[in-house]
Structure formats: C-alpha cells, structure tokens
Structure 1
C-alpha cells in the first residue's frame, strides 16, 4: 500500500463533522490514558504533558478523515483500550484481584489493549485474503424444467488491496462449477487500479467459461473522474479505454439495458445510481417496457437500491454488491441503521434480493465484517 493512502483513500467533506466529534472523544481519551500509563514513571509532570499532548493531537488528526486507514486503526486502538479498561475494572473490583495478578501491570502499560488490537488486525488481514463461495437457491415456475447456474462477482477493486492470485484461483474454481451465466457487478477496478492491472483483470475474467456469456454493470468506482484519484490527480485509463477493454475480452456491458438469455431469462443491467445524483436515473419499468414478464427477470445493480420499485415492476431477482457487508466495524451497523440492505438474501414482495460482500474490499487492507466471496445462484 502506498503510504499516502494511510491518510487519504478518499475524502468526503460531508463527514468532516463526524470525524471532528470522534477525534475529540478519542483525543481526550488518549491524553488521559497516556498520562495514566506514565503517572508512576520518574518523568516530571511537564515531560508527561509533553508526551501526552502530541499523542492526543495526532489521534485527533487521524480521525478527521473517517474514510482512511488512519481513522480505522485509531478507532480500533481506542476501542481495544476501552475494552481493556473494562476487563481491568472487572478483575479489580468483582474479582478483587484474586486472579490474573499480572493484569494490573499489563493493562497499565497498554499491553492488553495492544494484544487485542493485534488480534483484530491479524484476523482482518486473514479475512481479506481468503475467498469463499456463497450459494443461494432460487425456485421459479418461469423456466420450465431447465435450471441455471449464475455466478455473481462484484467489488474486486483489482490490484489495490488483495493479492491478484486469489482472483485467478477463484476463476479456476468457478470454471469447475460450469456456470451458465456470469454477472460482473461493478467496481472490478477503481481509481487506484493501474492501466496494466485494468487490462489484466478483464483478461483474467474472460477466462471464465459460461454457457450464455459474461455481463457487466458499472460501479461507482469504475469510472470516477480524475479529481477522485487521491494519489496522482488523474486516472491511468480513460472511460473509453475501460469500455474497449471490457468488450475486447468478450464481456457485454449492460448500461440501463436488457437482454434475453436462452428464451428464459431477461437480464437488466443498471447504470450506477451515483452517476445520476442530481438528475435521477430511469426506473427499471421503463427498461422493461414491452418485456415478457412471464420470463425470469434479473436486475443487476451495483448498489442495492430501488428494491421496492423493482419488485413492483415484476423483477424476480436483484443482485448487488457495493456495501462490502461493511468490511470493517462499525460500517455494517451504520449501513443497516440507514435502512440499506447490507448483506445476504432479502425478500421484497415476490422478488428476492441478494447483496454480496464482494470478492475483496476497498481501501482498508483488512476485513472483519462479512467475508470475501463470489456468489453461486442456482435457479431451478
């Protein structure tokens, strides 16, 4: 990871107030926690202050951009230290220090908090570097006696977080399944993917052998404008180059378009909602105009949005990614608090919705919420 990503990854000014509030809380805690760790040392009060103040200020600064590694790691150190404080209080008062006699010294110097922090980080790195298959079974009367194996892959953010070999290994396992349809759900690349990596990932994805082809919908990171590249200030590939590379590798782009597969399935690919924040995008009912709704209708939309509208429009299955199932605590909880479906299978009227956590993650090199996955959907 480029060192600059530790503090940047992406900056969204609308979250600055949140960062300031979190930074104040953690900064104050850090100040008194460091003083507590040093209060039995031989240092003078002034020297203790000289050590404590810069650490608390640094903690505050790290929290200002909550979409950064600096903020996440600072938050985790704070939570681990807070949890260690609670454990120490339990040992000190209800247990009267009868057990775990090593605890006071280990806790005071921050050793217990550091152990908890390392457990979180090591498990998070493990979570980011292991890809699982997740299987769902759909039943319908719309496709007669046939059945279809649909593979859904989203959010690889290729070349930025995860070892590329893991994707290549997953493709080999996917080919063993012999899928009928492959849907790529966006954010396969992002603003830190190089031109070479962009070409490499679509070449690798073209190696998936599917009976009825591979289809692509764009995510919010695939075609971001140059000002969102926080490292270089410009993209390493244009939108035209991206589109051309996808098509050259035999992958069909569906951008608010539909196609019929084998006379049984209508597949709709949505443009990403973030492109239309100011204007609003067309409803899926307009795309499905004059479609035969006796066929099984699948909507692929990078973000898990418009599920109620889609259900009312006769859609049978919606597949999405984007949320990463939170990826790092506490984002899953925040997503769900906002009423967004974050992960798994949901039922909306007569429609099923599947939200994938993605093949990898974004920005942060760890995953402690959700799992890295590709999705197999059996439609019977």
Structure 2
C-alpha cells in the first residue's frame, strides 16, 4: 500500500517539477548563459533534494542527520507551493482574458514575468517561515461540555489533553519541557496523552529525557496515556514499565476507575506499525464489560475511529488525535474527506468527541493552515 502511495506521489512530484521547470525556462531562456546555468543548478538542487534524502536515508549515513532530512522536506514543500502560486498566476491570467482587469502597462511589460517569479519565491519563503513559527508556538484550545451523568464527589473535571508530541529530533527536550510547563499552568485534574508520544527514531538517552519530563507533570488524578502508531516503545515491556514508573498510566485495552467517580478507558492502537500487539485489539464492548456505565466513561483512542461503536457502548467523551488536521495545506482538505471529524468537537446525543490537531509535527516541521495545540476541556457532570 505504501509503495503505491509513494509511487503515485513521486509521479505527481515529477510532473509538478517539469511544469515549474518549463515555466521558469520560458522566463529565462533569453538570458545570458551563466544565468541559465545558475537556474538549472539551483532548480536541480531544489527538486532533487527531497527524493535523494528520502531514498538515500538507509544507504548514506550523512542523510540520517536530522538537518539534512529536514532540508529535503523544505525543498519538497517549496516545489509544491511554487506550483500552487504558479497555478494561481495562471488563473489570474485566464480571468484577465475575459474580464481585462490587469493594466496593460503591467501585462505587456517585458519584466513582468520575472517580477511575478520573484514575488512567488518571496511568497513561498514567507509561507514556509510562517509555517515553521506556527509549528513551534502551540495554542491552548478550550472546550466546555456537559455529561448527563453524575460523578460522585465531582461537579466538574478539567482535562488537559496532548496528542502527537512526536518527541525526537525535531520536538526536542526543550520543547518537551515547554509543553510540560504549559500543561501544569492549566492546573488540570487529569492529564491525557493520546498517542504518538515519540518518533520511531528515539534512542535510549532521549527516552530517558522524556521520562524525566513526564515526572514533572502535575494533576489531581494522574496522567493517562495510550500508544499511537509511531510508539515503538510500547512494544517493549521494559519501556512500558519505565513509563508507568514515571507516573504515566499506560492503558492498552484497559480501564481504571478513578476516585469511584469516573472511568478512564484506553484502547490499543489499531495500526500494526506500533503500539504493541494491536492485531488482537479488544472490541470496545468486551473491554467495557466490567465498567459501571452509570458513571462517566472517558475513552482514549489515538485515532478518531469507530465512533458509532463508542456511542453504542455509552461512552460519554472520546479523546483522539492522529490526524494532525492535515498539518500542512492542502493536507487538511484530505483529512476532512478521510475522517468524519479531523479536528474539533463533535456531539451526538450523549456522546462527545474531541479530536486534537496535536502538539508536534511529523515529517516537515511546519504547520500551514493548522495549529499545534494543547487541549483543555472542562467537563460538567449532572
């Protein structure tokens, strides 16, 4: 499946690159030879950086360096956004044929194509710069909701939720500590970590730093986590044990009754890539057989899937992540087609769902059209 997707993407990427090359050449073909050579040299580096860094990761040790891989991602996005802005310029030109709104002095000036090209490059640079800043400055997204059940000794519950941290080379220990401080400032009753805690490349030293950071999380009723599709640590029973010793209740098809007032129910991840032996993930109905459904049921599931099943099993609040809300435009248009809800809040009867866009990033360290976030949900009980 991944082979088909990769081949399709590579084919589209090649077509886009050819289109950009022809457009650039149409502007510079009358220029001096040295200008033409510089153009083809720079264009070659821009277009080839991404496939070389991705294909060569397993063969060329240097490409394993995070900054090399990151440059590859930036070059790919630059190509994609140059293509988008060129299409926009083509659309303006097409509309002008019928509406004639572009002044003739601009339309017929011999430097107009070059100026448009420079403006497009400036727009692409600005977009990528904004995306980098946006990814590194998460927002607090707040929700208030009601659950039509009583929770003995509780009128309300403040839940701080984080998902898709992707701790590793990009989301490093400094950003991790910043996240911990932001969560603690919310003074939550419960902290939820909803999968994809680590990237698959995390080494033992980095994992230990993660544990030390998690030890600094403070809440009234504890920290609860489920694995995501990138969480290879969840395959290792020793690392799961270390996570629990750091104060994180790792729930893999398990539940915990908290203060005799509500349940935290955690599902294993349905992907076989990470999260332990997920092929045998329990059915939600089997998992919740022992719970008292008269109490509020809070479900943690990394991916926003099986929503009807959650409703049928009297889940009051489901918390999910995984989607990143597409992370980078036009990815958010795709996730909206794939998922019933790819970000935000959904209510159906007594069932509530919150999907987070996540704290970190996967692949390119940018967010365009989405935000990195920490969720703070206040739940009021009957």
Residue matched to 1:4: none
Contact 1:143 1:295 in 2 (8 A): yes
Tell me if 1:346 matches 2:343: no
Residues 140 and 305 of structure 1: is their aligned pair in 2 closer, same or farther, counting only changes over 3 Å? Answer: same
Tell me if 1:363 matches 2:372: no
Residue 163 of structure 1: how far off its partner (Å): 5.0
Residue matched to 1:129: 136
Residue matched to 1:32: 22
Residue matched to 2:258: 261
Residue 246 of structure 1: how far off its partner (Å): 0.5
Residue matched to 1:79: 84
Residue matched to 2:181: 172
Specify which of 178, 195, 199 is matched with residue 190 of structure 1: 199
Aligned runs of 1:145-294 on 2, under 5 Å?
Answer: 146-162=155-171, 164-223=173-232, 239-275=236-272, 279=279, 281-294=281-294
Residues 55 and 136 of structure 1: is their aligned pair in 2 closer, same or farther, counting only changes over 3 Å? Answer: same
Residue matched to 1:141: 148
Residues 278 and 180 of structure 1: is their aligned pair in 2 closer, same or farther, counting only changes over 3 Å? Answer: closer
Residue 138 of structure 1: how far off its partner (Å): 1.6
Q: Distance in 2 between matches of 1:102 and 1:193?
A: 55
Contact 1:325 1:370 in 2 (8 A): yes
Total equivalences in the alignment: 356
Q: Distance in 1 between matches of 2:317 and 2:36?
A: 61
What SS is found at the alignment partner of 1:274?
A: coil
Choose 60-69 or 253-262, whichever is displaced more: 60-69
Where does structure 2 lack aligned partners over 5 or more consecutive residues? 56-68
Contact 1:129 1:163 in 2 (8 A): no
Structure richer in helix, relative to its length? 2
Q: Distance in 2 between matches of 1:102 and 1:246?
A: 65
Q: Distance in 2 between matches of 1:337 and 1:185?
A: 22
TM-score of the superposition, structure 2-length normalised?
0.82
Q: Distance in 1 between matches of 2:335 and 2:22?
A: 32
Residue matched to 1:319: 319
Contact 1:128 1:372 in 2 (8 A): yes
TM-score of the superposition, structure 1-length normalised?
0.82
Q: Distance in 2 between matches of 1:304 and 1:187?
A: 14
Residue 255 of structure 1: how far off its partner (Å): 0.5
Where does structure 1 lack aligned partners over 5 or more consecutive residues? 1-10, 226-237
Residue 99 of structure 1: how far off its partner (Å): 6.1
Q: Distance in 2 between matches of 1:51 and 1:147?
A: 62
Q: Distance in 2 between matches of 1:146 and 1:339?
A: 33
Aligned runs of 1:57-76 on 2, under 5 Å?
Answer: 59=47, 62=50, 69=73, 70-76=75-81
Q: Distance in 1 between matches of 2:109 and 2:223?
A: 59
Q: Distance in 1 between matches of 2:246 and 2:38?
A: 59
